[in-house]
């Protein structure tokens, strides 16, 4: 039995989710007739502080459908250089939408106001016009950092000053909200669209929700169909999403406690742990230049039952979640330290 710290996407549906899935009331969602999907969408929209929501198969689909709805071919979207939309979604914004990425620094988890404004170049036939700002919270590639409400609002304000719409990749927004002890609408209600993923720390087997205005969702539904995201009796999986939003979001802070324990144990044992302003459920290790590579450390630990991923030659990511206990975290930390220094 492995202690799996590769990602929070490895979580299995809870027993209550499985029961809800087995008993779900269903209909044809392409016709808008699946009552469970509609209930999920209404519940998510209310949580996010928006008028409506749309169920999508994944976070990546939620993001690309949102970008396709905001932008036309040749438009520019401001994205962080380390953002998931830019680095880990197959270049979908360009390949599917002809949307030009206008790349800015987001090394602290969010672009600065100055960088956002600088990416909005003057009207010129030679330039792709910036029409959209994409933000991410929590920020995966920046250590899983939870951006504060104040810093987030400053970035949104800069976008508004330049007449931009704002999309939030909120795949782990519930983690950010838990880290700062706020409701997700403190972030999501001030943007034009937000994507909320159900299959990470919330534990559902699949699914994501786009929350926005009714008019935006009306157009997004067309794009979901165009990219093959229309599902029929989707209530079978949406039922698990309802359990995720109604119950699993309330316990997500526990995963942060596990990550803090993991970080402290590894740091006390002599490994470098990347600092963050507010830790969520991720721990990033930086390994010495004259020591093991992250891949080699991962291979050694796998043999002893601990799984995690190398994110670069000397950097590794460990993610806590519902299916990993505090005892698992303690055991994993001891094994990692033993293998790193033997």
Q: What is the CATH number of the domain that holds 92?
A: 3.40.640.10
What are the distances in angstroms from CA 182 to CA 146, 168, 175, 176, 280? 12, 17, 10, 8, 14
Which pLDDT band, with edges at 50, 70 and 90, does 148 fall under?
A: very high
User: Residue 280: what pLDDT?
Assistant: 97
Which pLDDT band, with edges at 50, 70 and 90, does 97 fall under?
A: very high
Residue 4 forms part of a structural domain: no
Q: How far apart are CA 276 and CA 72, in angstroms?
A: 36
Give the residue-averaged pLDDT of 207-230: 97
Residue 330 forms part of a structural domain: yes
Residue 116 forms part of a structural domain: yes
Q: What is the pLDDT of residues 279-294, one digit of tens each?
A: 999 999 999 888 899 9
Residues 222 and 127 grouped into a single domain? yes
Give the residue-averaged pLDDT of 40-59: 98
Residues 59 and 70 grouped into a single domain? yes
Which pLDDT band, with edges at 50, 70 and 90, does 308 fall under?
A: very high
CA atoms within 13 A on the CB side of 257: 8
Residues 93 and 132 grouped into a single domain? yes
Residues 160 and 42 grouped into a single domain? yes
Residue 9 forms part of a structural domain: no
* Residues of the domain holding 331: 252-341
Give the CATH number of the domain where residue 271 resides: 3.90.1150.10
Position of tokens 């007449």? Answer: 163
Give the residue-averaged pLDDT of 191-211: 97
**127: Cβ–Cβ under 8 A, 6 or more apart, which residues?**
76, 121
Point out the domain boundary residue: 209, 234, 249.
249
Point out the domain boundary residue: 221, 249, 277.
249
Instruction: Provide the 8-state DSSP code for 139.
Output: B
% of the chain exceeding 70 in pLDDT: 100
Best CA proximity match to 337, nearest among 281, 285, 290: 285
User: Residue 1: what pLDDT?
Assistant: 86
Point out the domain boundary residue: 194, 225, 249.
249
Question: Count of residues for the chain?
Answer: 342
User: Residue 69: what pLDDT?
Assistant: 98
Residues 165 and 126 grouped into a single domain? yes
Give the residue-averaged pLDDT of 108-137: 96
Cβ atoms < 10 Å from Cβ of 334? 15
């Amino acid at each position: 039995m492995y202690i799996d710290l590769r990602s929070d996407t490895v979580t299995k549906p809870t027993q209550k989710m499985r029961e809800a899935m087995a008993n779900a009331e269903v209909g044809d969602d392409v016709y808008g007739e699946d009552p469970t999907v509609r209930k999920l969408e209404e519940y998510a929209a209310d949580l996010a502080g928006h008028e409506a929501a749309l169920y999508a198969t994944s976070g990546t689909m939620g993001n690309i459908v949102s970008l396709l709805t905001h932008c036309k071919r040749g438009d520019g979207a401001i994205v962080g250089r380390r953002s998931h939309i830019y680095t880990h979604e197959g270049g979908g914004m360009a390949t599917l939408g002809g949307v030009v990425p206008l790349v800015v620094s987001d090394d602290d988890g969010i672009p600065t106001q100055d960088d956002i404004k600088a990416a909005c170049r003057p009207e010129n036939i030679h330039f792709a016009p910036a029409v959209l700002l994409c933000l991410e919270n929590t920020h995966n590639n920046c250590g899983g950092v939870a951006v504060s409400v104040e810093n987030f609002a400053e970035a949104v304000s800069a976008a508004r000053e330049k007449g931009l719409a704002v999309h939030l990749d909120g795949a782990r927004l519930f983690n950010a909200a838990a880290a700062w002890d706020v409701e997700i609408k403190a972030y999501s209600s001030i943007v034009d669209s937000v994507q909320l993923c159900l299959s990470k720390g919330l534990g559902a087997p699949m699914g994501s929700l786009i929350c926005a205005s009714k008019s935006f969702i009306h157009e997004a539904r067309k794009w979901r169909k165009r990219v093959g995201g229309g599902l029929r009796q989707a209530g079978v999986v949406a039922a698990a999403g309802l359990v995720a939003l109604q119950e699993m979001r309330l316990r997500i802070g526990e995963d942060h406690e596990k990550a803090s324990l993991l970080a402290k144990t590894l740091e006390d044992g002599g490994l470098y742990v990347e600092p963050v302003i507010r830790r969520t459920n991720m721990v990033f290790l930086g390994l010495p230049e004259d020591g093991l590579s992250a891949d080699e450390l991962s291979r050694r630990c796998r043999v002893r039952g601990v799984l995690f991923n190398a994110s670069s030659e000397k950097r590794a990511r460990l993610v806590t979640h519902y299916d990993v206990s505090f005892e698992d975290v303690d055991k994993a930390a001891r094994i990692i330290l033993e293998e790193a220094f033997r």
